[in-house]
Structure 1
Amino acid sequence: MGTDFWDLGYPKEFRVGGGGHITRYLSPSFDVSLLGNYETYRFSADKPGNNFELRNGMVDLGLKLKLNNGKILKEDAFIQPFLMAGGGMFFANSEGRANGANFFNKIRRPEVFGMAGLRFRLSEAVALDLTTSQHYPFTERTDNLYGPANPADKLYDRFLVHSLGLTIALGKTKDEDKDGVSDKKDKCPGTPAGVAVDPNGCPLDRDGDGVPDYQDKCPDVKGVAALQGCPDRDGDGITDADDKCPDVAGLAALQGCPDADGDGVTDLSDKCPGTPAGVKVDATGCPLDRDGDGVPDYQDRCPDRAGPASNKGCPEIKAETKKRLQEATKSINFEFNKAVLLPSSYPTLKDLAAIMAEYPDYTMSIAGHTDSKGADDYNLRLSYDRAASARTYMLSQSVPADRIESRGYGETKPIADNATAKGQAMNRRVEFDLYLTGEPNSAEVKYGPAPTITELQKTPAGRPTAGKAPVRKAPVKKAPMKKAPMKRK
């Protein structure tokens, strides 16, 4: 019968009602509500005789959008705006007079509504709600004006409801971890008892490093989880507080300091950086030098006896000792054409054994030689046997077997002319030489590898010797004659 929005008209018109709502929390942003309202409504039109009285109720289901969702406003803000929309059923008994006729309508129709409201938080459990909602029932018979004669009246069946009411929280929120944040709102359930939490129920993290304060050993400085929240600037897995070199990645065994050469001494304290791997060093990082000769042990062939670097850290053989070795050659004698030592050789060999004891880092080479008289293979065997005989005697003088070596060169390495008796006598000799153990054999350095009988036999005329041209043997016409044993050795 006309638009009277916002015209309460009281007491001329009686428009009052009441209701009750039940709301269920869904999330910080949404609730669902079941609303029930009842009201009376009286309307007197300006036209004489047009009036009606309405007694109606609404049962609706609405979805509520809360602006105090922690993103727009705090959840516990004092003023909490919200919006709601939904629909339900409109029940009404309407009677009056319209268009000169009395009417009585019993209405049961669906409706939709929209609401805007403000909630004033009085306490944790009590709030005051002030709302305005517009309802639109799907009917035109509230005022009984409808049809082609009243095309605009279809919109006049809408109405506003203004309400003021108290909201009371029922029951008790579930909070299993008892951190003061309900389980529905708790994003970190299971927080240990007594741990301070934020509004989401998560443990406080003052430095924002992802490690909660109650587990963070450095709660005021951003750190890494692997180190219980403590910082590690150089990323070596050692906290800055325990790292003696916090800006350079290092080793735990060296309290976070680096050791580029891996010798166990930090680079800051290492006076000899670049030491090869596995080399033992002293407290300053320098290779050990037990004998103090300036040659580090790992390069020193004689780490317990001082010697020059030119001789690989080993004592050099004295000139007197070299002379004794040279003179020994003249003093070694054998039985005629045999490898049996004469007793006159014993003092010299004992002296050589004493030299071996004086130079424990050296090995002795014994090389036997003959003159050119006789068959090549015979001479080679004889030179081997005589050198071996000298070696056997020295072994009896407690010289270790692995420090003495013997070989024979036969007639292949003369030092004088075999064409003379004097030269032959000089070529019949046993030489003694010392060389550092592990170095090339001294005889082999001078003469090359010792020959074998097979090698000699490959040269039919035998090996050339100084002062003697290769001998060519005449063709054998008869059975070869057997050579008598040579008795001039």
Structure 2
Amino acid sequence: MLGMAAPLAQAQTADRKTALSANVGLLQYRGNMGTDFWDRSEPDLEVGGGGTISRYLSPSFDVALLGYYQTYKFSSEVRAGDNFEARIGMVDLGIKLKLNNGKILKEDARIQPYLMGGGGMFLTNSTGRANGQNFFNQIRRPEVFGLAGIRVRLSDAVSLDLTTSQHYPFTERVDNLYGSPDDKLYDRFLLHQAGVTVAFGKMKDEDKDGVSDKKDKCPGTPAGVAVDPNGCPLDKDGDGVPDYQDKCPDVKGVAALQGCPDRDGDGVTDAEDKCPDVAGLAILQGCPDADGDGITDADDKCPGTPAGVKVDATGCPLDRDGDGVPDYQDRCPDRAGPASNKGCPEIKAETKKRLKEATKSINFEFNKAVLLPSSYPTLKDLAAIMAEYPDYTMSIAGHTDSKGADDYNLRLSYDRAASARTYMLSQTVPADRIESRGYGETKPVADNGTAAGQALNRRVEFDLYLTGEPNSAEVKYGPAPTISELQKTPAGRPTAGKAPVKKAPAKKAPARKAPVKRK
């Protein structure tokens, strides 16, 4: 089928782009039954025929649709009695590389070699006998091919083609023998063809500019456009933009601006550029904006604004709450506050007092993390404070005295702080604005050697800090012991529900101490 592609090749030119070919051909087989490649000693010579339609793409390439049909017979010389007869059709699409492309040979050379390659479908009904068994196979499989040909130009429109091609269908069922020595598909065919190709068309002036296409160096010029002797549109100012596309035909300009000048090279024509001698932005009619805030430098009262910051009509950063801290630096852009507090409202002295007094009003059941009802009013007041300061987060830190085991005290302090947090969450305080932790007995504020000091050390502290800033409890006391440390408590040690029990020395009878009393 490659062979038929050949006939359609070289009669075609830019003037005659479509060609039809008719050819006769001769198939030869190679497969598991044997081969007759390059051997025409067979007494019964059978030929086939084909046709091609091709289209000129460029001086170097054509594209072709090929078809070929032949009945082919073969008798094995390897195994007596093995034979097959196949009615073979091939339909392929090929790309031809022409050597008469003006670089290797002249385009109008009389002898025009070429190569072609492509692929398509191999269509066969094959009958015969293989390995002592009769067979009938109907085959519809893809194939690839490669072709070498020579075209002899007889005239501008007619040529003779001689080609040889090899076809490689993706099947072994033509001869019904399988298992080639190298485990590859083994049925292959050579196709030798001779044909005549006729190209249609005549020399034209496709763009109707008065210059023939062969001489036209600018084919495709729009109708009615004035051209020079080479068929190219006139360009009075010599800027490379033809007059019919040049918005400024009498002044040398740039192609990107349809032939109009641009002194500062900013992509805005001088006629439309409000700053024609300084490169700027098209969106600002050619004027510069050094800080990229959308306000021209001449009108910008706040040059150097950081990239991406929203500005007002004068180029200054927005300050929605008018507190003198621009929104991009303001942690609380909708609530006025001093720059010293990052633009957020400061906590009132009266509020700080309420937070401090709250510590004295939080009480729990004996030796437990269960809040007493007397604590509820204070926690509700703290929830009201959180609503009053929406830009702040609350830290709740639990502490104990030194009675009992360290790990027990740590767990109890954590659980009591968590209980206070849980109650405040029930008062609609957002979970991401309240944090609890426990320090156990590690951060006393009074002497644990006295009952009064122990009472002061048993406490839950409440502090506000700007959301995103360091936790206030951690600022005061450092990092709290982690939950993972609590989980390492040995089995059998007391938890928040009971005070630890201490045993007497082993030599004495076990003695129990009364539970540690704490409030």
TM-score, normalised via structure 2 length = 0.52
User: 2:405 matched to which residue of 1?
Assistant: 375
Give the Cα separation in 1 of the matches to 2:235 and 2:487: 94
Q: Kindly indicate whether the alpha-carbon contact (under 8 Å) linking 1:291 and 1:304 is maintained by their aligned counterparts in 2.
A: yes
Q: Kindly indicate whether the alpha-carbon contact (under 8 Å) linking 1:246 and 1:256 is maintained by their aligned counterparts in 2.
A: yes
User: 1:327 matched to which residue of 2?
Assistant: 357
Shift of 1:487: 2.3
Give 5+ residue unaligned stretches, structure 1. Answer: 1-173, 461-472
What percentage of aligned pairs have identical amino acids? 94
Relative to structure 1, the CA distance from residue 414 to residue 218 in structure 2 (aligned partners, 3 Å threshold; closer, same or farther) is: same
User: Mapping of 1:151-162 within 5 angstroms?
Assistant: none
Shift of 1:452: 4.1
User: 1:13 matched to which residue of 2?
Assistant: none
Give 5+ residue unaligned stretches, structure 2. Answer: 1-203, 491-502
Q: Kindly indicate whether the alpha-carbon contact (under 8 Å) linking 1:365 and 1:433 is maintained by their aligned counterparts in 2.
A: yes
Picking from 414, 426, 446, the partner of 1:416 is 446
User: Mapping of 1:155-170 within 5 angstroms?
Assistant: none
Shift of 1:212: 3.1
Shift of 1:276: 2.2
Give the letter aligned to residue 438 of structure 1.
G
Shift of 1:266: 2.4
2:306 is the counterpart of 1:276: yes
2:456 is the counterpart of 1:426: yes
Relative to structure 1, the CA distance from residue 181 to residue 366 in structure 2 (aligned partners, 3 Å threshold; closer, same or farther) is: closer
Give the Cα separation in 2 of the matches to 1:182 and 1:377: 101
> For each residue in 1:285-315, what CA deviation from the matched residue of structure 2 results, as whole angstroms up to 9, or x when unmatched?
2222111111111211111101111111110
User: Mapping of 1:285-296 within 5 angstroms?
Assistant: 285-296=315-326
Relative to structure 1, the CA distance from residue 482 to residue 258 in structure 2 (aligned partners, 3 Å threshold; closer, same or farther) is: farther
Shift of 1:188: 6.7
Relative to structure 1, the CA distance from residue 416 to residue 196 in structure 2 (aligned partners, 3 Å threshold; closer, same or farther) is: same
2:340 is the counterpart of 1:304: no
Shift of 1:201: 7.1
2:325 is the counterpart of 1:266: no
Shift of 1:251: 2.4
Q: CA RMSD in A?
A: 3.4
Give the Cα separation in 2 of the matches to 1:488 and 1:214: 99
Shift of 1:176: 9.6
2:374 is the counterpart of 1:347: no
Give the letter aligned to residue 387 of structure 1.
A
Picking from 240, 244, 255, the partner of 1:210 is 240
Q: Higher relative contact order by CA 8 Å / sep ≥ 6: 1 or 2? A: 2
Give the letter aligned to residue 468 of structure 2.
G
Shift of 1:213: 2.8
* 1:337 partner SS: coil
Give the Cα separation in 1 of the matches to 2:508 and 2:289: 84
Shift of 1:352: 0.8
User: 1:247 matched to which residue of 2?
Assistant: 277
Give the Cα separation in 2 of the matches to 1:219 and 1:440: 68
Shift of 1:341: 1.8
Q: Kindly indicate whether the alpha-carbon contact (under 8 Å) linking 2:504 and 2:511 is maintained by their aligned counterparts in 1.
A: no
Shift of 1:385: 1.5
* 2:387 partner SS: helix
* 1:415 partner SS: coil
Shift of 1:378: 1.5
Q: Kindly indicate whether the alpha-carbon contact (under 8 Å) linking 1:340 and 1:386 is maintained by their aligned counterparts in 2.
A: yes
Relative to structure 1, the CA distance from residue 477 to residue 311 in structure 2 (aligned partners, 3 Å threshold; closer, same or farther) is: farther
Shift of 1:254: 2.3
2:496 is the counterpart of 1:449: no
Shift of 1:252: 2.2
* 2:297 partner SS: coil
> For each residue in 1:82-107, what CA deviation from the matched residue of structure 2 results, as whole angstroms up to 9, or x when unmatched?
xxxxxxxxxxxxxxxxxxxxxxxxxx
Q: Kindly indicate whether the alpha-carbon contact (under 8 Å) linking 2:411 and 2:486 is maintained by their aligned counterparts in 1.
A: no
Shift of 1:279: 1.9
Shift of 1:268: 2.5
* 1:435 partner SS: strand
Shift of 1:273: 2.3
User: 1:359 matched to which residue of 2?
Assistant: 389
Q: Kindly indicate whether the alpha-carbon contact (under 8 Å) linking 2:335 and 2:344 is maintained by their aligned counterparts in 1.
A: yes
How many equivalent residue pairs?
304
Greater shift, 311-320 or 479-488, is seen at: 479-488
Shift of 1:186: 8.6
> For each residue in 1:404-424, what CA deviation from the matched residue of structure 2 results, as whole angstroms up to 9, or x when unmatched?
111111111000111111111
> For each residue in 1:22-58, what CA deviation from the matched residue of structure 2 results, as whole angstroms up to 9, or x when unmatched?
xxxxxxxxxxxxxxxxxxxxxxxxxxxxxxxxxxxxx
Shift of 1:445: 0.7
TM-score, normalised via structure 1 length = 0.55
**Which is higher, the Rg of structure 1 or of structure 2?**
1
